[in-house]
């Protein structure tokens, strides 16, 4: 992927990527949580870590916007909401990583569909079992370590996020992803 173009004032031209629409200030908390959940799902499925995030941020020339956030320990990300530019940068990074891992995401979705239609236990499939286990563990470590919910209560959220990753791995995914984050009619986070 080519580096992103910068305007003369050293800010990104978000309009070039159809990410210029501004969220309401009250939406930033929800957007931050949503991005953390999508990133958690991507990490649980693919194993990408902070090194991969930083590498993609460097490739996309987003490191000046998001580098500090990406190098913080995972649980410190909950301390404050992302800025609008950090959120936009993370949308581009997640979309790029989803595109890079599109084959794995599609395989997981196909297995999920196959086992859902046959009503077999999806935990029989190693890829899906590992994804659900990793998602549950990472969720408890990074998002909500106050309780230890059974993994089955997190499975519907993990499935929903896996399906979203499929959409975010397409060519126009940054725009679609950004608009989904801004949509006031989107479903609750959990």
- Residue-level pLDDT, tens digit, the chain, 190 residues: 444 444 333 356 676 666 778 888 888 999 999 999 999 999 999 999 888 888 999 998 888 888 777 766 554 444 688 999 999 999 999 999 999 999 999 999 999 998 878 777 777 788 999 999 999 999 988 887 666 666 667 889 999 999 999 999 988 889 889 989 998 655 444 4
CB 93 within 8 A of CB 62: yes
pLDDT at position 131 = 95
pTM: 0.83
Domain assignment present for 87: yes
Counted domains in the chain: 1
Instruction: Write b or e for each residue in 107-119: b if 16 or more Cβ atoms lie within 10 A of its Cβ, otherwise e.
Output: ebbebbeebeeee
Domain assignment present for 8: no
- CB neighbours of residue 23 within 10 Å: 15
Q: For residue 6, what is the DSSP state? A: B
Domain assignment present for 17: no
Domain assignment present for 7: no
**Rounded CA separation 79/143 (Å):** 11
Q: Which two tokens stand for residue 78?
A: 């909950």
pLDDT at position 134 = 94
Domain assignment present for 136: yes
* Best CA proximity match to 173, nearest among 72, 75, 93, 70: 93
The boundaries of the domain holding residue 172 are 24-182
């Amino acid at each position: 992927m080519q580096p992103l173009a910068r305007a003369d004032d050293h800010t990104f031209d978000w309009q070039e990527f159809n990410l210029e629409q501004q969220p309401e200030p009250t939406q930033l908390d929800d957007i931050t949580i949503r991005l953390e959940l999508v990133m958690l799902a991507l990490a649980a499925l693919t194993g990408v870590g902070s090194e991969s995030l930083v590498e993609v941020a460097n490739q996309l020339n987003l490191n000046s916007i998001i580098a500090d956030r990406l190098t913080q320990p995972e649980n410190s990300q909950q301390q404050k909401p992302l800025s609008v530019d950090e959120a936009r940068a993370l949308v581009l990074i997640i979309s790029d990583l989803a595109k890079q891992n599109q084959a794995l995401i599609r395989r997981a979705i196909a297995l999920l569909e196959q086992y859902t239609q046959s009503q077999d236990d999806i935990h029989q499939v190693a890829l899906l079992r590992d994804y659900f286990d990793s998602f549950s563990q990472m969720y408890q470590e990074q998002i909500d370590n106050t309780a230890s919910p059974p993994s089955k209560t997190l499975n519907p959220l993990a499935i929903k996020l896996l399906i979203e990753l499929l959409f975010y791995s397409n060519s126009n995914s940054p725009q679609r992803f950004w608009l989904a984050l801004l949509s006031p009619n989107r479903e609750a986070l959990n």
